[in-house]
Structure 1
């Protein structure tokens, strides 16, 4: 039996045993997201706009992940709106910086791998790097956003008279506790993929200056810093959006009609 299939079965069993029905939903959401990323890659490879396609699939993945796992309710709606705002803001903040940094494409270290491949693929790699950033960021900000919105939802549920400001500040306090661990998670996730290349650099006797100025190293650092920006932004935005939605008369009336 294929090793990947065995690991997939183990993952399925563990998620079912530990999480029950919610664990099953999470597993099927994971499979859906995997298929979505493959489809997104195919569409980009046949010359659809990388940025537009990534934004569309970020929206689809966020909707399925939040509403299918957590249900259609005000906390999921708050998290979805916050995630989409942060995705767009992160793209706007990093796009110009990344374009000027010239970190897209391949470095000298990839020359041997590219020797037998065609370079005439007609894809703009200056945009691909931002697609990678947004997809790498998405899981982290969804996690942070739903954590904050769920906490604020419970606070509001137990104290209907809490003000928007106090609810917002509660979200900021909750987010500050999450911030440190989540930025570390993003950093190590990106750097872990770079460990093999560090060993390769060491064997070739690269100097520290050469490593710090190599394109592949700068790309990993750039992605981890952009991820950190997104995680920071999601905290105040989720706190604000959730406090507004939970205290909005229009949303309260609308949610009663559709049983949110």
Structure 2
């Protein structure tokens, strides 16, 4: 155990508590393993024929060639004026841009300027070759400069000169550095406990990548897949991060109960709200690729998995709070521990619910802005499927948190005091014993004093 577990086993659990915990955990672990075996994906998952992604570096930028420029701009200029005038304007702008990029691409790049780039391919079968690719342009198009690291999409079985196009910037390096900073910060603050938490995070990612996603793509029922995956993540991460103990087991049981309630509420309101999933572009596209997928079930599965992270935070905090309160005041009763833990839990709920709702609102912010621009009323915006899905996720997740606080606090108070109830009562009797014995002694000596 680490220093963070200083008071964790200060009060040994009674045989009754251990029996209860094991009676819940053993079936849970066995059912989870059985679910992983039964639902483990087999066979070939459906796939989409997509272009290969390769890394490249822009080594030069210039205006589109005469033929390429005319062909690429004709579609834009047909509706706005003569093709010749459109080409002249594009050429003039391109010349000006060419002057800007000749010095290293430092000049401005108007969104309507047609450019092409010489890129050096850094991965894939054509690694080391230089090719010319069109640069995305138009309103809102990203601005590229010489030296930018980009990602190209390759269309197979197409001549080299028209095989590649720029898709986006490379982001691997900044994300890697951010991940390293995060890992170092966690370990510096929590030391070995933080390292264990990072290992638990890695296990969660492995479960999602190798079980959850393939099983969903294989057409398995999304709700059982989500429940089994969430249970595996919950068991692995809680014990890895917080150690194998009665306290962690109580937190796990509280999480299980709260997650079950969250899943039931999610299933109910997903059905009552009649979500179709067709307004989510990714879900709609996946549904077209594989008609066997239960799109509504995918929404529910996402709700269950998303709620797990917030729920285990709440349950671990509540069990830790009750254990520390019990260690600080060994004479406190279960009722007092529950009341004190609930006071902490109310503060936690107030902060966490707000965080959860704001997270879902933040994810829908561009959509809310679109509704605002179009003049859609607040009621209409909230009841539209895109926003209503986030509302259901936020409120159902919040109800799960609200349920987790009293459930976990009550379980923790019972567990931490079950083993030492008799000792606490005995301590109180010993404390009251001398005073009770003193009173008869005083009564006996009083008459004998003769005063």
* Bucket of the pairwise TM-score, normalised by the shorter protein: 0.7 to 0.9
Per-residue deviation, residues 77-119 of structure 1 (Å, max 9, x unmatched): 1100000011112222332222011124122x749x9579835
Deviation at 1:11, TM superposition (A): 1.6
Q: Which has the higher helix share?
A: 1
Match of 1:91 among 252, 260, 263: 263
In structure 2, what is the equivalent of residue 57 of structure 1? 229
CA distance in 1, matches of 2:374, 2:317: 45
In structure 2, what is the equivalent of residue 240 of structure 1? 410
Match of 2:240 among 68, 76, 84: 68
CA distance in 2, matches of 1:58, 1:145: 15
CA distance in 1, matches of 2:302, 2:192: 31
81-90 or 7-16, larger mean C-alpha shift: 7-16
Match of 2:187 among 16, 37, 47: 16
Instruction: Report the secondary structure of 2:321's partner residue.
Output: helix
In structure 2, what is the equivalent of residue 200 of structure 1? 370
Per-residue deviation, residues 8-41 of structure 1 (Å, max 9, x unmatched): 2222222223332222222222222122222312
In structure 2, what is the equivalent of residue 128 of structure 1? 298
**Is contact 2:251-2:315 (8 Å) kept?**
yes
Instruction: Report the secondary structure of 1:51's partner residue.
Output: helix
**Is contact 1:70-1:76 (8 Å) kept?**
yes
Match of 2:395 among 215, 219, 225: 225
Q: Name the TM-score, length of structure 1 as normaliser.
A: 0.86
Aligned length: 248
Match of 1:36 among 199, 207, 210: 207
In structure 1, what is the equivalent of residue 278 of structure 2? 106
Per-residue deviation, residues 158-198 of structure 1 (Å, max 9, x unmatched): 33332222222122111011111000111111111101222
In structure 1, what is the equivalent of residue 80 of structure 2? none
In structure 2, what is the equivalent of residue 80 of structure 1? 252
**Is contact 1:104-1:129 (8 Å) kept?**
no
Per-residue deviation, residues 207-246 of structure 1 (Å, max 9, x unmatched): 4444223100111111100011001000000011111222
- Superposed CA RMSD: 2.4
User: In 2 relative to 1, CA 230–125 (structure 1 residues): closer, same or farther, beyond 3 Å?
Assistant: same
202-211 or 159-168, larger mean C-alpha shift: 202-211
45-54 or 215-224, larger mean C-alpha shift: 45-54
2:230 maps to 1:26: no
In structure 2, what is the equivalent of residue 140 of structure 1? 310
In structure 1, what is the equivalent of residue 140 of structure 2? none
Structure number with bigger Rg: 2
Q: Name the TM-score, length of structure 2 as normaliser.
A: 0.51
Match of 1:4 among 171, 175, 179: 175
Instruction: Report the secondary structure of 2:288's partner residue.
Output: coil
CA distance in 2, matches of 1:29, 1:145: 17
Instruction: Report the secondary structure of 1:118's partner residue.
Output: helix
User: In 2 relative to 1, CA 22–196 (structure 1 residues): closer, same or farther, beyond 3 Å?
Assistant: same
Deviation at 1:66, TM superposition (A): 1.6
CA distance in 1, matches of 2:404, 2:213: 26
